[in-house]
Amino acid sequence: MPTHTSRSEVPANEKWNLEDIYSDISKWEADFHEIEKIAVKLKEFDGAIQDGQTLFQFLKTKEELSYKFNHVYAYCMLKVDEDTRDTSSQSLLDQAKSLSVKVSAATSFFMPFLLGLDEEKLKGYITEVEGLKYFEEDLLESYRYKAHVLSKEQEELLSQLGESLSVPSNTFGMINNADIKFGEVTDENGEKVELTRGMYAKLIEDEDREKRREAYKAYYKPYIASKNTIATTLSGAIKNNVTLAKIRHYPSALEKALFGDKVPKEVYENLITATKENIAPLHKYSQIRKEKLQLDELRQYDLSVPLVKGVKPEISYEEAYEKMLKGLAPLGEEYIGMLKEFKESRYIDVRETPGKRSGAYNLGIYGVHPYILLNHRDDLDSLFTLAHECGHGVHSKLSAKHQPQITARYSIFVAEVASTVNEVLLINYLLNNESDPEVRKHLLNHFIDQFKGTFFTQVMFAEFEMKTHELAEKGVPLNVEVFNRIYADLFREYNGDEVVFDDEVKFGWSRIPHFYRPFYVYKYATGFASAIHLATKILEGNKATLESYLEFLKSGSSDYPLELLKKTGVDLTSPAPIENSLKRFAELVEEFSRI
């Protein structure tokens, strides 16, 4: 695996090309100033929208601003993520964040104005002015929010608080990405070296248990040292969610989070209930793990090590890309053609370098193309991450190609479907094309672990969020002890009694960035369940499913997420998709225990 001590060492074809957004910084600055001017222009519409024509002018100008602003913001966000230590990029991002507050303040009058407008009058405007047809669905959708929008003055005040409300999340981001220094571990020469996230991901899967234990202790050390600070940031984020839900007259923070997607609370609750009713195979898997590793006690640092010894295929980035293209062939030629373009046209930033943002993501930019951040490590996990993020990327690209700007962005709720369909197709391809029984076992083990991480762990996180928000809603103070207790209880419930607790287990909550995006993680699990259903049908050669799935990828947010999924044959208002995917998990565990 190539290790790079600096970004300049990475070959150009493995770095994304941000010049597709702005060929130089002066163009970024020109757009920045243009947005400032447009924001002033938008403010002038306050109190001046008296007819359909003016309404159309306002909406058209606002969309033009939004197009430019997305480019300005995305550019500096991607710059920062290349190296979070770079102060000049950080300064651009700070400017963009301040600009975002200005824009939001300039347009905050609109929602209260719109909802004060008689619905029949609005429909009249839409009939009179041809251009308003484009905005019709959005305008009428706004009436759904009527009970949750405040007066003009209050909305303006809230928009001014935007930056302050994001302080808990930004603070945790800084602690987690810039400040945290992990403890030391012993390298292969017996020397002490400082642990990095990339090393941790490798060491926690090491066959040497002492190495795993050492890495685990070193990894948690800074989180435990900062436990009170992190508990304060998390508690702050949760209280902000609860307060905003109250201010906006939602029954709860959970219902506020689900409102935009029009997802009933029952979908969230069903997910947790159905998972806990079918948790036995996961507990059985913990037992298999303990037996297979021949341990007297199973601990948390034993939960990620592959159970098939001596099989750790090294897969270069080039090879990973080829395998992905072969694995996703059932999705058709257009799909594969797009993936080739991703690589050739440098949409992807491949390597881990000092200061680069950890993890992986896809960012679709309307009018440009998707950008994908990886920290590729030439292993099986990295191959799956590549397929996962490319699923998001194709979804972004197809939606942008087939939808106008107003409906091109898909909801997070459906986002995980495209990424997971890719992973399921890939594992199927790898299993079918592998004759070595040990490698097959390793792949099966990998899929079970991935199922556990994307489904069960996320449902556990979703329940943690639900419980902590409910306490905050009752006015119960949230602190380290409360977070520890809830997290430890849930960890035990999901992983079974086989796992013996180290002190670190209960601090698991302190390192999860997703908790700063309220009620987000459950979408991984519903997306995963939907994807298992779709991929199974596609692999059975079901043409109708394949066609409806490709249509789904082109749909952006042209309908509510549950409706878009229903068109592919997945109905999440019933527990069936969840139960079916849990049945699939039980089969995988059964097959694995047999072989």
Number of Cβ atoms within 10 Å of the Cβ of 279: 17
Closest to 260 (Cα-Cα) out of 575, 557, 564, 578 = 557
Strands 348-351 and 370-376: parallel
Closest to 356 (Cα-Cα) out of 94, 96, 89 = 89
Q: Is 371 exposed, middle or buried (0-12, 13-18, 19+ CB in 10 A)?
A: buried
How many Å apart are CA 343 and CA 336, to the nearest integer? 11
Contacts of 186 (CB under 8 A, 6+ apart): 192, 193, 211, 214
What tokens does 585 get?
């998990």
Rounded to the nearest 10 degrees, the angle between the axes of helix 437-451 and helix 412-432 is 170
Q: How far is CA 55 from the centre of its chain?
A: 35
Long-range pairs for 548-554 at CB < 8 Å and ≥24 separation? Answer: 549/421, 550/331, 550/332, 550/335, 550/398, 552/414, 552/417, 553/394, 553/395, 553/398, 553/399, 553/418, 554/398, 554/399, 554/401, 554/402, 554/403
Provide the terminal-to-terminal Cα distance of the chain, rounded to the nearest Å: 31
DSSP, collapsed to helix, strand or coil, labels residue 11 as coil
Beta bridge partners of residue 433, listed in sequence order? none
Question: Is residue 533 within 8 Å of residue 576, measured between CB atoms?
Answer: no
What tokens does 459 get?
């449902």
Strands 192-194 and 370-376: unpaired
DSSP 479: -
CA distances from 9 to 4, 30, 347 (A): 6, 31, 18
How many Å apart are CA 555 and CA 54, to the nearest integer? 30
How many Å apart are CA 62 and CA 239, to the nearest integer? 32
Catalytic residue list contains 389 = yes
Catalytic residue among 389, 416, 473, 504: 389
DSSP labels, 292-350: HTT-SSEEGGGSSS-SSTT------HHHHHHHHHHHTGGG-HHHHHHHHHHHHTT-EEE
Q: Which amino acids are annotated catalytic? A: 389
